[in-house]
A and B are shown apart, each in its own frame.
Chain A
């Protein structure tokens, strides 16, 4: 059973249509990667799923509940979390405050949630009172992901999590993604660094020119020479 289902989404910005009818599913606890060239509509797809853009056609549903065009702050309550590619933290807040904002809709004792995030990203524990704006790119990415995890989402969407990170850090991020996945959280990733991402994905999609071109398991896509040449940049 697929937890996230995207059917025939047509979406874009103003008059400019970017997605011309895209289908996608993510099963419970799956890691799915979307790869493709720049301008293919990968980020647009994520934003449409999360309600930041309203599609002109098509539907999005979570666990068979239609969420098409629903406001983001309601979608968050349905168990979907989103980490944008850029500007994904609050720079003038501390690490702790950023995480706290992630759990804004919750009351009560949040300490266990903080603990889980700190376990995943130990460096955040030591720097939890630090102002995020002053932290490095890698640390900020961790804060961004940690923030999304505070709500214990069923599915977390990551838009180019390793972008602008040095290879060592990128590898560390992918490790974390693995760990999150092991804990049972489904992950939908948009990635330029396609090889690393597909390597740990259950399934993958290739998106180009606003349409789905290929769909297969992660390893199969990696092994596909055609895909590799055209979209994975060798």
Chain B
């Protein structure tokens, strides 16, 4: 009985973490569908964003941006501005990476590219560790009070509402972008058939550039929100989430950003709900279990199409 009573609360936690996984997964799906390979460095891109935001926070004060809390949220405008700057910087870093490395491998075998991303992942993660060390860094030391929502039988913190709202907002913006802008349509076109896109005269390098920018931006946001939710970050943050993110992406259908959203929520909720039955140490195993299940039953995922 106690178990069942905990489910709604676990659902809330699941939606929060699922929102973050969705944001991370969209980038992976976009990279896969447009560039044609799985980017194992995506998790560490999230970590990069998280650390950059942390590093920029003090700089915001010197810019005269106040740190007073915004309403019930635990952070102020300095955090928001730090987030925006971190997103920009992370995108720049990833675009630079593309110019230096991936661009020269455009015609390389898909697996070679994936191996290259593993190398990037390791280098990136260890660069973060080099600069900041392996110990946790705290976004905030204060513990936010959760608010009771008796109607649903749950407690939720305002920051968590912010996370969910941010994910929803970004998802809607992405949808509008893909649906109604020329570049968005070009991205969908390239995702359908990159060779035909070239034949049509679409500037594929420009589409690729924006794919990296979008993916890295969302990853940075996801990383920063992870820091907001967990209160601290470590260099391993990204890699630890990578398995869950890939489980989400494959569940939703690799190559479908919308699938990543659905997948993220399902994986997030499953992981949290599983803690009612399994020890929390096995959460990654839950994601892995979902992954294997999907690969066995329906590798194209829920919303996926032809590979």
| Contacting pair A104 B186 (CB below 8 A) | yes
Q: Which residues of B contact A100 (CB under 8 A)?
A: 182, 185
Q: Does A36 contact B (CB under 8 A)?
A: no
| Contacting pair A76 B192 (CB below 8 A) | no
Chain A 70-112 interface mask (CB, 8 Å, partner B; 1/0): 0111001100001010011111110001101110110000000
Q: Which residues of B contact A82 (CB under 8 A)?
A: 199
Q: Of A72, A77, A93, A151, which one neighbours B189 at CB under 8 angstroms?
A: A93
| Contacting pair B199 A104 (CB below 8 A) | no
**Nearest residue, chain B, Cβ from A83:** B199
Interface positions, chain A 141-163, Cβ under 8 Å from B, are 147, 151
Q: Which residues of A contact B188 (CB under 8 A)?
A: 90, 92-93, 97
Inter-chain CA distance A92–B196, complex, in Å, is 13
| Contacting pair A101 B197 (CB below 8 A) | yes
Q: Does A50 contact B (CB under 8 A)?
A: yes
| Contacting pair B185 A147 (CB below 8 A) | no
Nearest Cβ in chain B — how far from A60, in angstroms? 15
| Contacting pair A52 B201 (CB below 8 A) | no
Q: Of A52, A71, A91, A147, which one neighbours B200 at CB under 8 angstroms?
A: A147
Inter-chain CA distance A93–B191, complex, in Å, is 11
Q: Which residues of A contact B199 (CB under 8 A)?
A: 50, 52, 72, 76, 82, 84
Q: Which residue, B182, B186, B196, B202, has most C-beta atoms of chain A within 10 A?
A: B196
Nearest Cβ in chain B — how far from A146, in angstroms? 12
Nearest Cβ in chain B — how far from A47, in angstroms? 9
Contact A90 B192, CB 8 Å, known A97-B185, A101-B186: yes
Q: Report the count of interface residues on A (CB-CB < 8 A).
A: 25
Contact A105 B182, CB 8 Å, known A90-B189, A92-B188, A93-B188: no
| Contacting pair B196 A90 (CB below 8 A) | yes
Q: Does B175 contact A (CB under 8 A)?
A: no
Inter-chain CA distance A89–B195, complex, in Å, is 11
| Contacting pair B185 A105 (CB below 8 A) | no
Inter-chain CA distance A89–B196, complex, in Å, is 8
Chain A 46-59 interface mask (CB, 8 Å, partner B; 1/0): 00001010000000
Contact A104 B196, CB 8 Å, known A90-B188, A93-B188: no
Give the interface size bracket for B toward A: 10 to 19
Q: Which residues of B contact A89 (CB under 8 A)?
A: 196
**Nearest residue, chain B, Cβ from A106:** B201
Q: Which residues of A contact B197 (CB under 8 A)?
A: 90, 101
| Contacting pair B203 A93 (CB below 8 A) | no
| Contacting pair B189 A73 (CB below 8 A) | no
For the A-B complex, the count of residue pairs with Cβ-Cβ distances under 8 Å equals 64
Nearest Cβ in chain B — how far from A178, in angstroms? 24
Q: Which residues of A contact B185 (CB under 8 A)?
A: 93, 97, 100-101
Q: Does B69 contact A (CB under 8 A)?
A: no
Interface positions, chain A 27-46, Cβ under 8 Å from B, are none
| Contacting pair B189 A52 (CB below 8 A) | no
**Nearest residue, chain B, Cβ from A77:** B201
Inter-chain CA distance A88–B110, complex, in Å, is 23
Inter-chain CA distance A88–B197, complex, in Å, is 10
Inter-chain CA distance A104–B186, complex, in Å, is 8
Inter-chain CA distance A216–B143, complex, in Å, is 85
| Contacting pair A101 B200 (CB below 8 A) | yes
| Contacting pair A91 B192 (CB below 8 A) | yes
Inter-chain CA distance A90–B193, complex, in Å, is 7
Interface positions, chain B 189-225, Cβ under 8 Å from A, are 189, 191-193, 195-204
Q: Which residues of A contact B203 (CB under 8 A)?
A: 73, 104-105
Q: Which residues of B contact A147 (CB under 8 A)?
A: 200
Contact A104 B192, CB 8 Å, known A93-B185, A97-B185: no
Q: Which residues of B contact A71 (CB under 8 A)?
A: 198
| Contacting pair B202 A104 (CB below 8 A) | yes
| Contacting pair A87 B193 (CB below 8 A) | yes
Q: Which residues of B contact A52 (CB under 8 A)?
A: 195, 198-199
Q: Which residue, B193, B197, B200, B203, has most C-beta atoms of chain A within 10 A?
A: B200
Nearest Cβ in chain A — how far from B15, in angstroms? 28
Nearest Cβ in chain A — how far from B160, in angstroms? 34
| Contacting pair B198 A73 (CB below 8 A) | yes
Besides A73-B204, A90-B193, A100-B182, 7 new A-B residue pairs in contact (Cβ under 8 A), listed by A number: A73-B198, A73-B203, A84-B196, A90-B188, A92-B192, A101-B197, A151-B201
27 A–B contacts, CB within 8 A, in A order: A52-B198, A73-B202, A73-B203, A73-B204, A76-B200, A77-B201, A82-B199, A84-B196, A84-B199, A87-B193, A87-B196, A88-B196, A90-B188, A90-B193, A92-B188, A92-B192, A93-B185, A93-B188, A98-B189, A100-B182, A101-B185, A101-B197, A101-B200, A104-B182, A104-B186, A104-B203, A147-B200
Q: What residues of chain B have their CB less than 8 Å away from a CB belonging to chain A?
A: 182, 185-186, 188-189, 191-193, 195-204, 305
